[in-house]
Each structure stands twice: as C-alpha cells, then as structure tokens.
Chain A
C-alpha cells in the first residue's frame, strides 16, 4: 500500500485550511490552477465550502440562541412590520392589526415550541390579559397561525431595561448605533439622570443641571427606587389577582422616556415551562434572576419579589447580580446566597436603598418582604426620607465573603505547592490553573479574588458533578439540604466515592489553614457529610459511617455543643446525624441509630430562626427515621431472627409478652410517623404550591403509617396506602427522571396490604399480584440504570421473591424454583451488608412459604421441592445466615419425617448441624 493521499483531498485540505485562516479563496481559482482535476474541483469544492459554512454558523453563535426561522410576514389579521426585540421565549414584532388599523406588538413563539401545550399558553395569556394596571403591558389577545402561537399586546414606545442598562453601564458607546431603538435606549438612559420636576433644587440634586454619571448620583438612585415602586405596584396588582409573573428580569421591563415602566410577559414562563427555557438556550439569562426556591420548581409571590430585588440590585451595582458565571456556577451562587453586599460594589449607594434591596433578595423567602406592596412601601419611605422597615441582614452575606480575600489565595497557592496531595486533588488544582489562565484571557480584572472564587467554584462543581445532585433537575434539587442526594441514589461508582473522599480531605486541609474562616470550615463539614451520603448509597456502610462521624466532629468544632440555632446550619448538622443514623440502622445498630436521630431532632427543635420549610421538612424526615428504627423491616426481621436463635416462646405468657412488646414499638413508630405527617400536611396547607419534596415526605410518612397501623386500624391503613401510592404515582409521572420517586413508589407497591383473611378473593389476589409485578418492573428499570446501587438490586430481588409467593393459585413447584433462583443470586451477594440483609429476608420468607405449604397439606410437593432446594443451598456460609439456613433444613427435616422419609430427615438434620452446630442442643421442639 502506498502512502499517497488522494490529490483532490489534498487540494481540498489546502482550500479549507486557507479559508479557515481567513484568506479569500475561490473554487474557480483552484479549478484553473489544477486543470487536470478541474472537473472534480468544480463538482466537490462547493460542497466542501458549504460544510465549512455550516460549521461556522454553528460555532459562531452557539452561545446565542434563537427561536428558529422567521415567521411569515402575516399572521392572520396582523401584518408584521419589523422585529423590535427578542428574548428566550420568542420574537417581538411591530405589526399592524388591519381590522382595527392600529399598531400593536406581537410576540411570536417559534413554531412547534409549544407542542401540545398551546392550550395552556393561551390560557396563561388570557389570565394575563385580565390584568389592568398602568405598569403592565396590556394584552389584547392570542392567536395561532400556521403553527405559530402568538399574542398581541399594546405597542409600547419603550425599550427593554436590559438595553437601557447596557447604555448606563457604558457597554454601549453613547454615540453608537443609529437604529431608532438605540437612540431610544440612550434617551431613556439619560432620563434616569433627570430629577423629578419637584426635586429640582432639592438637596443632593445639582440645581437644574444634569449630572453625567450614574454611580454616586443621588438622582439616579432615586429614579431606580421610583421604578422599583412602579414594578412593585404592578406585581402587587397581579398577585392580588392570583397571577405570578415568574420571570421578572430587565428584558421583561420596558421603560419609556417618561420614566414609566411596563411589565411584560406575565405568566408566560409558566406556560413555557422549564424544559423550553432550557432548550431556548436562554436558561442563563432566565436563571440569573430566578429565586432559589424557583430553581427547585416552587414559585410564589416572594419569588417575583426576589427577581425584582435582583433587577434593582443590578441597576444600582451597574452590573448583573451574578455576573460572569456559567450555568452550573450560577445555580450554586443563587442557592448559596452568594450575592455580595451592594455597598461593597458601590459604596456611594444609599444605605437604606441597599438594605431594602438586600431584604428583597434574601435567599430564604421568609426573610423577604411578604408582599410586593411592602417592598413598594419601603422604597417609597426611602424616597420620602422616612425610616425604612427593612433591617440589614448582613450576617447572611458575610458567609461567602471569605472567597474574596487575597489572603485565601495565598493559602491556596501554599496548598498547591505543598504537593503532598493525591492525584485527584492535584488534578483539580491543575484544572484551577488552567481555568485561571483561560479566565485571564477573558477578563484580567479582579484577578486574585475572582480567580480563587472561580477555582473554589470549579472545585465545588467537580464535587457536584461526581456526587450527583442531578443538574438535570435543578428545580428539584436542594443543595442546601442535599435533598436529592439524601433521597435519590445517584449513579456513582466506588472510584467516584474515593475521589470525592480525597477532595473533601482537601477541603478540610484548606479549611484548617484558614481556621478563622468559619464558612469554609462549614463547607468542609458539609462536603464530608455528602461523601457519607454517597458511600451509604453504594452500600459501603463502614466508610459512610466514618464520613458522617468526621462531619459531625467538624461541626462540633464549629459549634461547641455540636448544634446551631440558625435554621440552615441546624439542617446541615441534622443531615449528618440522620445520615449516620440511617447507616447505623442499615448495620442494624438500632440503639445507636435511634440516638443519632434523636440528636438530629434535638438540634432541629432548638432552631430559633428562621423556622423555614427546610427545617420543617428535615424534622419530618427525622421523625420518620425514628419511627423506622422502631419498625423498619430490618429491625423487625432482626427481632424475628433473634427469636429463631432463642427458639420459640416457651410459655403462652412469654409469647404474649413478646407480642405486647411488638405492639408497643409499632405504636411508638406510629406516633413518630403521625407527627411527621402532621408537619408536612401543615406545610402544604400553608404554602401556595405543593412542593414535590413535601409530597414525597407525605407519601413516605403514609407508607410507614400504613405498615405500622395495619393491624390495629386496617381501614385507616388502607387509606394511607392508597394516598401514598397516588402521591408517588403523581410524582413519578411528573418527574420521570427522579429515581428517588420511582424507587419510593416501587417500595410502596412492593408491600401490598394484606387482606383480612375473610376478604381474600381471586380479585384481591390478582390486584396484589399486579401491584408487585409493577414494583418489580420499576426496580428492574432502576437497577438497569444504576447497577452500582445495592438498594435497587435489593428491591428488585425482594420484589421478585415476593411475586413468587403472591398467589394461592400459583403452581407451587414453579414458585419454589423461582425462589431458589432469587436466593441463589442473593447468596452471591451475602458477603456485603446489603446482601446479608437480603438473604436473611428471603430465607425467612422461604420458611413462611414452606409453612404455608405445610398448612395446606401439600406434603408431597413440599418434600420433593424442598429436597431439591435443600440440595442446592450452600453449606459454606457462616454466622447468622448459616443459622437461618440451618433452621430451614430443620423444618425440612420435620417435613420429611412426617412423610415417613427417615433417611431424608436424617440427612437434612445433618445439613442443619453442619451449618449451625449449636442447633444440635436445641434439637426438635
């Protein structure tokens, strides 16, 4: 084979390379220079150039997004004239409505964007059209034409606040652009420097003369406040009508030259939903003004207040509140409340104005103004020179300030040099260096502080990326509590867990070097706890346990008694204790588990402020964990196991006593679960939206309640079960990607309520069978998706096992075969803690099944099948499982004896003894 390249390819390569370098080259030129290849060149090069063109299109503007090709020049009655603006959700045109001969503005959504939700879009627009307010752009109506959905509104001679701000910031040269829109933006921006007529000559305003700068200009600040009052007023009006805006941001606020502001796009965000925002590529633009709770899917009036606060913040700071972050960092910033104090950016900003804005953008909704009217009133107080109601909340914000100190940069450098770090960590630092270098190209400002922040952010991102909280569903994720990670197993591998362990070590070292930096140490403790969450998910209980213990130790160093009365911090600590508790429960250290959960409960109950939703939810969760300690299948089976070991109760009195004790613990458990249910019910009664997490905790409380009350209150238990299934079916349908919901649903379905003996029928049996089958299917999907997570496999095996014992009609031989298969798979796994649990449960169920066969008198079948089964059961297991298997052989022996097979019985007994020599002393009883 020769090493020659195809001559046409060689030329095409050169052609393309020169084009990429920016040289102007033509096909013709090449064709003429290479006459013998001219035909091929003329045929192929245009295609080559087209490919390059396609690539250029894609890359030049991959950051920007546009909603698709242009709509036709006419939409029904409307003749489109000119594009006047565009946002993530569509393009706005000026148009003439011919029937009424009036100029209107039309917002056109890209074709096909809405899919089946056109109806909903129209409904939202209709709701918005009922809003009549001087500061809300009136909507005339909606329509659809040739696949385009649009709505018609009043044409406002104004310009988006985002464009005005670009001029105010000086991003756009004041003389730039001759489009009417640019001129208008300049004019509007200038108007922000003009005092109200009544203000001429007032103190602070330079008598009738217009000052040129914005920063430090009292007139400008007052105008900002005035705009704030108008928007707050408009929001209040809408809120009173039950309409939320959901997407307040500068581009949705039109400003005219009379300094009247117009709010537009009411409720549209809802109609388009999250995924569409994402697809439009404007997620960052929209995310930037989104309230923390909104990123989790909860939106309330205070979310609009937050967004308005951020807009005002941007106007005062002359820069977007969260400038310069990519999507993932932005999200983190929003959720952690990493907004720098306004006066650290502009020290001339009036204190009162800064305080009002800070209150409006508090991370915790309850820290914000309760109503838009209150915000408006406080801004008015500022304008009137009266005392404002808001109080500085600087404590919340000092938390992130450490990352802006140069001192810390030095520490990071020291850390990097002291390279006794693992590969993972140095890898991270390497990344930090690269990204610093790259960042340097983009902006050289704020080097030290900004870079460190970026590095730590990058680091936090790596952590997130590995540890899970699925960025796919930011609206469900709650990084403050690690909710998703705490509930929904993420797909992680043991290697990830190790890397995370290294990273969190790094966090700790870093924190040690900056010991006075409380927030950093706080982060370090949290990182540890999250490592614990992951280890637990992977079924690595000892590792999980030590991670949680380390986290608790770190928290202890921060708060002397290991507690904190501030809401969020208390939740952090409680999460560590609860994680530890759950791990201990998995390890069947019931007493210790209870102590850990009680500790968490203590901490949560001592929270003084704010008693937020997060605190309440975590309290409910803790109560459920406490209840589960009393009752959970593990603890339950644990007792059973104990009973086998010790033999059956000797006397009726003893049996009674044991039953009583069982009942008592069920009653205790029920108390806890009821309390948890009360909390979530209360939360949902008091909030406008039923946050998915609330529904989730409600379902869980009900599932547990249905289990523990099944015997005493069968009716109520059935009701709880039904509600839990309905809630979870809803969640699973609404959020198909959240594994936690599907897992919980499967767990609930897996336990069909037992019918009272008299009420069993073919129908109820069939219903139970279907239910378990559905659980099995859910578990199968989950397991396929996350083979690393033992609890999915465990669930699948249990459901599989359960399904074999389901119906009384099932051919028993088949059932036994199926059981045997499951048991074999479980036994492969018996060495791990999760596997261990599994086998215990299966053997126990096997015994129960055998017992049922005995009762129904199918000795023949039983003897045949159990013989087969017994032969296949392993004989080389130790400890508790060996004892359980041994007890199986014992009962098998009894069975054979009854059937007259003395030899078989003897063999079975020998097997039993081989597995558990202590069994001999108990013998037959």
Chain B
C-alpha cells in the first residue's frame, strides 16, 4: 500500500524531476493528491465554501508547481511532498487574499515558514466535520463525542493544534512534521506526545 511514509517512490520521482523529467512531477502530484486535498479542506477559510472548490485550488497549485519545479533542484534536502505542500499552502494563502482581501487571516507570526498555509481554525475544523454526518442516527451518536473532542482541540494552543492536525488529518510523518515546524525529530516527537496529553486533559476535565 502507498502510505505517505513510504517515501521511496518520492525520492525516486524527485530525482527524475530534478533531471528535468516533467512526467515525474505529474506522478508526484497524483500520488499526494488526496493528502493535499485534505489539507486544503482543512485550511480553507469557511467563508470560501462554495466559492472555491478544493480541486480549483489544487489545479492552481499544480500550475504553480510546474512553473516552479526548478526550485526543487535547489533544495535537495526538502522532501518532495513537503515541497508540494508548501506550494499548495501558498496557493491557498493567495486564494484567501484574492477572495477575502484584507479580511484574510494572516498566518500567525510564531508559525515557521515552511508551514506556510493558513492555520487550521476552529471554524474550519467544525465545518470540515459538520459536512460529514451522514444520517441523523449516526450524527446523534457521534454528535456529542465529537463536539466535545472538537471543543477540546480548539481549546489547545495553536501549535499543539497544528501538530495534531498535521499528524492525524494531513497524515504527515514525525519527520515531516519536524521539517515543517522546524524542530528536531526528538522535539517533534515529544511535542506530539505533549499535545495528545493536553488534549486528553482538556477532554477529561469533565468526566473526572
């Protein structure tokens, strides 16, 4: 199975891409399309719902990736997926700016550059989830539990929330998270455990 951590293919594709093989870029993009789409959904401002399709943004990002494919060669250490993610993030920011103008949320200062995407906000997350309940019974069953979890996630510090979103929603590996947040592997790993612990405490305060 093609899991994100199975980055062998990526490396090979990146090598081909760096030698000017455009087809490799197309393959790389298709490989990660679902994850990238996930990211877009998660980080797209709720005010753009219905105006902009995640696919629209991916399409634009694809164009940008193609135009800027030379950059990858200049940064041999950057994993290809993170490079694509970066481009998608920038496209997303541009889209926000275009549609929302000055009302666009600017990325918080404390967030490292490579994150370069709008932060996951509580509304994003809520909308992301509310689009998902398929039947009343299902919704009712899950309703409370996920409401609570959601509230807890939203109560976390932005950086903790980011770590959890990156790991669980965007399915980044620990190393990728480390790269994105400009941390060491150890720090990223510890930060993750800390974020889960805090989340658990935030959820547990009521029933304990």
Contact = CB atoms under 8 A, between A and B. Distances in A.
A335 B171 CA distance: 39
A462 B168 contact: no
Given A57-B133, A69-B133, A13 B22 contact: no
A9 B174 contact: yes
Nearest to B202: A47
Nearest to A110: B130
Interface in B49-78: 49-53, 55-56, 59-60, 62-63, 66-67
B132 A58 contact: yes
Interface in A2-50: 2-6, 8-10, 12-13, 16-17, 20-21, 43-44, 46-48, 50
Contacts of A920: none
A430 B25 CA distance: 9
A62 interface: yes
A275 interface: yes
A350 interface: no
B149 A437 contact: no
B143 interface: yes
B38 to A, nearest CB: 6
Interface stretch (A148-156, A278-286, A852-860): A278-286
B186 A275 contact: no
A83 B136 contact: yes
Interface in A327-349: 327-328
A430 B22 contact: yes
A832 interface: no
A465 interface: yes
B49 A279 contact: yes
B16 interface: no
Interface in A457-499: 458, 461-462, 465, 470-472, 491, 499
B50 A47 contact: no
B105 interface: no
A7 B184 CA distance: 15
A438 B196 contact: no
B66 A427 contact: yes
B33 interface: yes
Contacts of A327: 53
Contacts of A434: 26, 29-30, 62
Nearest to A50: B149
Nearest to B152: A47
B136 A70 contact: yes
Interface in B5-48: 5, 22-23, 25-26, 29-30, 33, 38, 41, 48
B200 A44 contact: yes
Given A52-B168, A58-B129, A437-B26, A3 B186 contact: yes
Interface in B90-131: 97-99, 101-102, 128-131
Given A70-B139, A431-B59, A491-B98, A9 B129 contact: no
A61 B134 contact: yes
Interface string A42-86: 011011101110110111111011101111000000000001000
B91 to A, nearest CB: 10
A68 B136 CA distance: 8
Contacts of B60: 462, 465
Nearest to B102: A784
A36 to B, nearest CB: 15
A426 interface: yes
Contacts of B137: 70
Contacts of B130: 68
A52 B164 CA distance: 10
B193 A9 contact: yes
A4 B199 contact: no
A785 interface: yes
Given A62-B132, A434-B26, A275 B200 contact: no
B205 interface: no
Interface string B190-208: 1011001101100100000
B50 A279 contact: yes
A423 interface: yes
Contacts of B142: 57
Contacts of B203: 47
B140 interface: yes
Contacts of B157: none
Given A2-B186, A68-B133, A437-B30, A55 B169 contact: yes
B190 A6 contact: yes
Q: Which of B131, B142, B197 has the most CB of A within 10 A?
A: B131
Nearest to B66: A427
Contacts of A46: 200
Interface in A281-324: 281, 283
Nearest to B1: A21
Contacts of A6: 186, 189-190, 192-193
A433 interface: yes
Interface of A: 1-6, 8-10, 12-13, 16-17, 20-21, 43-44, 46-48, 50-52, 54-55, 57-62, 64-66, 68-71, 83, 91, 275, 277-279, 281, 283, 326-328, 423-424, 426-428, 430-431, 433-435, 437-438, 458, 461-462, 465, 470-472, 491, 499, 781, 784-786
Interface of B: 1, 3, 5, 22-23, 25-26, 29-30, 33, 38, 41, 48-53, 55-56, 59-60, 62-63, 66-67, 97-99, 101-102, 128-137, 139-140, 142-143, 145-146, 149-150, 164, 167-169, 171, 173-174, 184-186, 189-190, 192-193, 196-197, 199-200, 203
Given A51-B168, A430-B62, A472-B51, 9 more contacts: A2-B186, A5-B186, A9-B193, A54-B149, A62-B128, A326-B55, A458-B59, A472-B99, A491-B97
24 contacts: A1-B184, A5-B185, A8-B193, A9-B174, A9-B193, A12-B196, A47-B203, A54-B149, A57-B132, A61-B134, A62-B41, A62-B131, A66-B132, A83-B135, A275-B50, A281-B131, A327-B53, A328-B56, A430-B22, A430-B25, A462-B63, A465-B60, A491-B98, A785-B101
Q: Which 9 A-B pairs have the closest CB atoms?
A: A278-B50, A70-B136, A785-B101, A427-B66, A472-B51, A5-B189, A6-B189, A9-B189, A51-B168
